[in-house]
Amino acid sequence: MPILILHLHFFTSAESLPMNRLPMRRSREGFTLIELLVVIAIIAVLIGLLVPAVQKVREAANRMTCSNNMKQIGIATHSYNDAFGKLPGAMRCPFGASNPGVSPPTVTGYNINVALLPYLEQDALYKMAVTPWTGMNPTGPWSWDAPVAGTPSGTLRTKVLKAYNCPSDPTYSSGFPTNQVNGWAGTSYAANYMVFGQGWVVTYVGGSGFPDSNSSFTIATIPDGTSNVVAFGERVVTCNTRDGSATITGGGNLLWWPGGNWWWSAHDWGPTMANGGQGGQGNNWNQPPMTSVSNPDKCDRSRPSSSHNTCQVLMLDGSARGVGTSVTQVTWQQAITANDGVPLGPDW
């Protein structure tokens, strides 16, 4: 049987390698400067395309949060109506006058946002807020002094409620308006006075008369229909608060008020002060919303305002929608009036 014999040849030098087996030079690694610049340019273009898209998605999410917050407030408003047989009033002043014997007196109380707290799962906070107090107690729930930690005053002022906070509001910082001095935790949503307040009425508490601003409507008795009437609207918290203290600045937590001799507390769910010796803001209430507000000092505090390109409003039926600058003044007036009997314009 033939035997195959393999001969192995070992080459010990490059000279003995065949020409086609010569070792090749090692390939070059890395980028040239031009290639690196091209890559950087491509990345920059991609970032330029993605950043606006991310911002739009974030803004859409914030706008949705604002809308959902309003819907929660709408549910709370309906729950209050079911419990009391009427809509909550714009404000209540049950604590007495800070200057008894003076006519007209200065009285302090709470606004509609406090009245809705039990229906926003904040019953304990509500009970603390409406606890009776005497005079200007520096630690009381409605003290005008700086908040004191561990007291009702401190608790009320430092409690941040997501339901009252639009994440797009440019003036928020940890729940406080950024230019507040002795401020109260603010709200991005303002109530429609044409629905929740029909002028001053006297409510007798403990034998003394104090003015309240109540609503004469119920959900079932809105003449124009709940789907056609604005209940709440967005409001930049520190909109044009020139004095740096949104607590006592005119304009209030209301979208509409008829002027007159009082100040409303501005943009917060803290105290509401009614002072017969002070002048009203005026009658810019009938102007449509301001949108894309980036500078709070440039907006009109008597109008709804938003940092979005549309202003979110809550209708009395509990639905929320955006209102843009295309809405005319006439249509806006129709939307905030509960009993004018006029259908909303086509621009609504």
Nearest to 176 by CA among 167, 186, 168, 166: 186
Backbone angles phi, psi at 38, to 5 degrees: -65, -45
pLDDT of 79 strictly over 90: yes
Please give the residue that has the higher pLDDT: either 104 or 314: 314
Domain ranges of the chain: 47-336
**37-47 pLDDT per residue, tens:** 888 899 988 88
Span 190-220, pLDDT tens digits: 788 778 875 545 443 433 444 455 677 888 8
pLDDT at 281: 32
pLDDT score at 75: 96
DSSP three-state, residue 210: strand
Q: pTM of the entire structure?
A: 0.66
Measured distance CA(174)–CA(59) in Å, rounded = 19
Nearest Cα neighbor of 63 from 188, 184, 174 is 188
Average pLDDT over residues 272-282: 30
Give yes or no for residue 323 having a pLDDT over 60: yes
What the block records as the tokens of 64 is 């949705």
Q: Which pLDDT belongs to residue 15? A: 52
Q: Whose CA is closest to 182, among 127, 133, 246, 231?
A: 246
Residue 274 pLDDT greater than 50, yes or no = no
